[in-house]
Structure 1
Amino acid sequence: MRLRLLALVLPVGLLAALGGSAANARTNADTLLSQGKPVIASSIEDDTLTAGKAVDGSTSTRWASSEGVDPQWIRVDLGQAATVGRVKLNWEAAYAKGYRIEVSDDGTTFSTIKTVADGNGATDDLTGLQGHGRYVRVVGTQRGTSYGYSLWELEVYGTTDSSGDTQAPTVPAGLKSTGATATSVTLSWTASTDNIGVSGYDVLRDGNAVATTASTQYNDTGLTANTTYKYSVRARDLAGNVSAASEPITVTTATGGTGGFVLAAAGDIADRCTASDSDCIHPKTAKLVEAMNPAAVITMGDNQYDDAHLSDFQNYYAKTWGKFKSITHPIPGNHETYDDTPFKGYRDYFGSIATPQGKNYYSWNQGNWHFIALDSNDFVKEEGLREPAQLTWLKQDLASNTKGCIAAYYHHPRFSSGDHGDNPDADALWQTLVSARTDLVLNGHDHHYERFLPQNADGDKDASGPVQIIGGMGGAPLYPVHAAHPATAKIISDFGVLKLSMTDSTFATQLIGLDGKVLDSSPMYSCH
């Protein structure tokens, strides 16, 4: 481990004077906000030097970026908006000579509150800052060594907007049901307001809280056919204040026979870490899958990192998501091609589950749904694996389908607001699926969550097109997101698992976060 030591000796009188001045400058800015909070980075040097090590409160663990590359960044989510007055950076030997401190309300658009051009390592204690936002990012623009950037600790100090807040949000209004099947009810309501900010909503069924969601929609699943339920909603703010419950409504589920079932889905899953590491995410997302008790599990590629050897699958994926192997319908991503023999570890681990029809692509049915699992590596030109035979097979499979609803999933998304961006090479798949009036398309590759409104072949809003969802938040480090597409309904940079509630003629989706709360809910869609 590379270490950097710096000794500084000052006269006692000068220290006292500096201490008094610093204390005045730090008024209302000395509450540590960043420790233990979610954090992502542009890169890591290896699996032991993850971004979470920079906010774990320990000066013996650290984050390190890839070596020899500018720029690099690390971003911490404070959990709520705050006034930021101080940032303290404890550098390892690989320090930044040039860097800037940025803040953002949404994690996408950042403004600079401090620029440093003459950093010399050790500890930088930046006080007197004037910033406001939920996200704080340190962007290294010039390395001080030939290595990368490495921090023992990143500490952000300030005051959260909710400090001292005792005012509850307004009562949610306009609660209504937008659809009901034999086993589910879809609800929507008008957003509450708050003097600081609404953090979420509790959904009450028959007087008992059944879920907490950040959105103004919720799909209540696992219900009994031909049964009447009473619903109300209450709002919460960042300080924990809770509104009164809304006026209740009653909803009666449909009679039985609609073939309802639940699926769990995610991509970009098993980093090379285990549950013994608190920063390891795939054990946590596996627990979400277990809580859903799904009829089947869909994976959208990059099941195992980094090179997807069989030993990696056995040491990591198998211990978490591997619990659901018997009900999993996987597809490969680009990382499955990085094995010494492309796809070998993937095929050896999953066996016939991965190639039930002899290829990496196949189809299967559940209820009135036809699911198509595709290998988009065949359509990514830079991978050199183009294989037109898969497209011919896809057209034949769609033509012979007799089910009323269609879902497809593959790794590389046609449209994305994430780090990889749009993928024109996947256009042949997208065009074919749109022409067949496919209802739902699931992807991975970009490590974030993004739900689109129904789109046509050109990516424009069109009610007759499929709903596309990027679900690359299954466990691998998150990627930054950029300006959302015009057809983007919701974009979230966070980990979780997709919960898909399907019937013979409808579907609705939810993103379930690591804490079990609903981060996003779609409307209930009818199959084309």
Structure 2
Amino acid sequence: MSLRPFRTTGLILLSAAALALPATVAASAQNAGPAARLAAETLLSRGKPVTTSSTETAEFAGANAVDGSTTTRWASQEGHDPEWITIDLGAPAALTRVKLNWEDAYASSYRIDRSTDGTTWTSAYSTSSGDGGVDDRAVTGTARYVRVYGRARGTSYGYSLWEVEVYGTPSGPDTQAPSVPAGLRVTGTTTTSVSLGWSPSTDDTGVTGYDVLRDGAVVASPAGTSYTDTGLTTGQTYSYTVRARDAAGNVSAASAAVPGVPKAGETTFVATAAGDISEHCKASSSSCGAQQTAKRIEAINPDEILTLGDNQYDTGSLADYKAYYDTTWGRFKAKTRPVPGNHEYNDATETAADYKSYFGARATPQGKTYYSWERGGWHMIALDSELSMSATSAQIKWLEADLAANTKKCVAAYWHKPLYSSGPQADAVSKPAWQVLYKYHADLVLNGHDHLYERFAPQNASGGAAADGPRELLVGTGGASTYDFESTQPNSQKRITDIFGVLKLTLADGSYTADMVHQDGRTLDTTGPTACH
């Protein structure tokens, strides 16, 4: 940890009477005009849940910024832009102002953003001339989530705030029911079970769970958007519906019904995937992005885990793998199917030797860092975008031969550097791989490298929309600090950043469903079920 001088600029001496003021504050002298409005505003952020892009150490956790003390603070990692801190107010409120008390490490350029769902953000205030001290900024709009998004540091350190105070007027009692769950479908069956999935509902205060009804009776109340109903009779048709609930007890209407028939012959498995995973943080740190996504993987309990490269920063050394990655995603090593990224090739040998040493045979199951494997109705291909991908390279010749010999209907491929991205790091290196995958009617391509999530429509290797082409899903959200989008690319259907999360793939015989799952369990995006080519 670097020591910095204690800043006295902007400190205000308060009398004992002032310190005794309640969270509902009186009008300030500088805003004496709208006194009646300010008299009713409430401090909404004190003690509320906080998430951050990073922390310098555990001592400087995000919760310090809402604890009411000006002797504790949040501090991000040093020397990195952008960084952010988000406060969940717990319910929508009409915002009036946000007060920021900066430590020495202030933002010279930052935004204050608001959101009703924690995913889609609207800028409420923006400046490129920040000078630290205390910023008391008027904001308007209704929001449950408020984010301070640092774009440029005013010092060589990171970003640090003694306090973030969000003021406004709380909403009245919640009487609005969540939206009706959409997209209910059967994702798989056995002789005695039916597996279901559906798209997430929305709500003004947040969905807390769902009720699954079989033939009109509730059989389960899962928190997420999937459920497997067991103990059923082979060949019998059951009717399923789903409804959503919120924290106030409001319940949506039931979804459209779908039939489910337990039967043999359908093999479905679940895989999770993400890249850009482990920075220098351990499972013992609650703000560690890799630990947050590892906990989500534990909750999903997938059959297979795919890493999409840059698994360990900054050099992919064996020492760092053991010190950091091993404490989080390392506990899934026995069912991980990894690929390397550019940071794995930054080790002392520049050959990804430490990556191979850490994962052992799982890194090179067929003697190379590219390989294929199968499960159920799927042929899965792991490629290495740090090795040559030219049309005449050994890797692409292997890929063509591998696909020519494939007998499975469904094909997915994954590697680190994406051909398509609306972020800063699209890379044409994999275009020959795309051409071969398109030729053999592959269904999915999974990538990382850009620290964000993006879903594309099926397309060909030239970027043209093509119903018979692979769908790219870019999932660089495994735990490393996030990136901004730059220029929206053709065929881009969904873009999310400033989150950690994993892709949950439900891979059935002949189809796939992809759910982008936030670290806290919310499903942020769903596509499918989609039939394989």
Which residue of structure 2 lines up, in the alignment, with residue 499 of structure 1? 504
Match of 2:313 among 305, 314, 339: 305
AA partner of residue 111 (structure 1):
S
Match of 1:111 among 95, 119, 123: 123
Which residue of structure 1 lines up, in the alignment, with residue 100 of structure 2? 89
Which residue of structure 1 lines up, in the alignment, with residue 52 of structure 2? 39
Structure 2 CA distance for partners of 1:266 and 1:321, relative to 1, 3 Å: same
2:482 is equivalent to residue 473 of structure 1: no
Q: Does the CA contact (< 8 Å) of 2:459 and 2:466 recur in 1?
A: yes
Which residue of structure 1 lines up, in the alignment, with residue 22 of structure 2? none
Q: Distance in 1 between matches of 2:388 and 2:42?
A: 52
Structure 2 CA distance for partners of 1:380 and 1:100, relative to 1, 3 Å: farther
Which residue of structure 2 lines up, in the alignment, with residue 6 of structure 1? 8
Q: Does the CA contact (< 8 Å) of 1:34 and 1:156 recur in 2?
A: no
Q: CA deviation at 1:464?
A: 1.4
Which residue of structure 1 lines up, in the alignment, with residue 514 of structure 2? 509
Q: Distance in 2 between matches of 1:387 and 1:47?
A: 48
Structure 2 CA distance for partners of 1:297 and 1:55, relative to 1, 3 Å: same
SS of the aligned residue for 1:130 comes to coil
Q: Does the CA contact (< 8 Å) of 1:33 and 1:158 recur in 2?
A: no
Which residue of structure 1 lines up, in the alignment, with residue 279 of structure 2? 271
Q: Distance in 2 between matches of 1:28 and 1:9?
A: 21
2:296 is equivalent to residue 294 of structure 1: no
2:441 is equivalent to residue 422 of structure 1: no
Relative to the length of structure 2, the TM-score reads 0.80
Q: CA deviation at 1:61?
A: 4.3
Q: Distance in 2 between matches of 1:525 and 1:389?
A: 32
- Where structure 2 has 5 or more consecutive residues not aligned to the other structure, the ranges are 20-24, 30-34
2:529 is equivalent to residue 524 of structure 1: yes
Which residue of structure 1 lines up, in the alignment, with residue 368 of structure 2? 359
SS of the aligned residue for 1:377 comes to coil
Structure 2 CA distance for partners of 1:117 and 1:522, relative to 1, 3 Å: closer
Deviates more, 1:431-440 or 1:442-451: 442-451
Which residue of structure 1 lines up, in the alignment, with residue 292 of structure 2? 284
Match of 2:382 among 369, 373, 390: 373
2:80 is equivalent to residue 74 of structure 1: no
2:339 is equivalent to residue 331 of structure 1: yes
SS of the aligned residue for 1:94 comes to coil
Deviations 1:355-383 (A, max 9, x none): 122221111122332111011123599xx
SS of the aligned residue for 2:241 comes to strand
Q: Does the CA contact (< 8 Å) of 2:48 and 2:87 recur in 1?
A: no
Q: Does the CA contact (< 8 Å) of 1:175 and 1:246 recur in 2?
A: no
Structure 2 CA distance for partners of 1:485 and 1:365, relative to 1, 3 Å: same
Q: CA deviation at 1:184?
A: 5.1
Q: CA deviation at 1:313?
A: 1.2
Which residue of structure 2 lines up, in the alignment, with residue 243 of structure 1? 251
AA partner of residue 462 (structure 2):
D
Q: CA deviation at 1:287?
A: 3.3
Q: Distance in 2 between matches of 1:301 and 1:190?
A: 29
Q: Distance in 2 between matches of 1:114 and 1:34?
A: 25
Q: Distance in 1 between matches of 2:223 and 2:453?
A: 18
Q: CA deviation at 1:391?
A: 1.8
Equivalent pairs, count: 504
Which residue of structure 2 lines up, in the alignment, with residue 164 of structure 1? 172
Which residue of structure 2 lines up, in the alignment, with residue 137 of structure 1? 148
Q: Does the CA contact (< 8 Å) of 1:205 and 1:229 recur in 2?
A: no
Q: Distance in 2 between matches of 1:322 and 1:451?
A: 27
AA partner of residue 62 (structure 1):
W
Q: Does the CA contact (< 8 Å) of 2:83 and 2:149 recur in 1?
A: yes
Deviations 1:322-365 (A, max 9, x none): 22222221100121112122212211111121112222111112
Q: CA deviation at 1:301?
A: 0.9
Which residue of structure 2 lines up, in the alignment, with residue 62 of structure 1? 74
2:443 is equivalent to residue 439 of structure 1: yes
- Where structure 1 has 5 or more consecutive residues not aligned to the other structure, the ranges are none
Q: CA deviation at 1:235?
A: 3.3
Q: Distance in 2 between matches of 1:2 and 1:341?
A: 37
Deviations 1:422-443 (A, max 9, x none): 3333322222212221011111
Q: Does the CA contact (< 8 Å) of 2:199 and 2:526 recur in 1?
A: no
Q: Does the CA contact (< 8 Å) of 1:39 and 1:75 recur in 2?
A: yes
Percentage of matched positions with identical amino acids: 35
Q: CA deviation at 1:139?
A: 4.0
Deviates more, 1:252-261 or 1:25-34: 25-34
AA partner of residue 311 (structure 2):
N
2:331 is equivalent to residue 320 of structure 1: no
Q: Does the CA contact (< 8 Å) of 1:81 and 1:160 recur in 2?
A: no
SS of the aligned residue for 1:470 comes to strand
SS of the aligned residue for 2:503 comes to strand
Structure 2 CA distance for partners of 1:271 and 1:261, relative to 1, 3 Å: same
Q: Does the CA contact (< 8 Å) of 1:268 and 1:304 recur in 2?
A: yes
AA partner of residue 45 (structure 2):
L
Match of 1:124 among 115, 120, 134: 134
Q: Distance in 1 between matches of 2:316 and 2:182?
A: 49
Deviates more, 1:476-485 or 1:103-112: 103-112
Q: Distance in 1 between matches of 2:182 and 2:481?
A: 38
SS of the aligned residue for 2:100 comes to strand
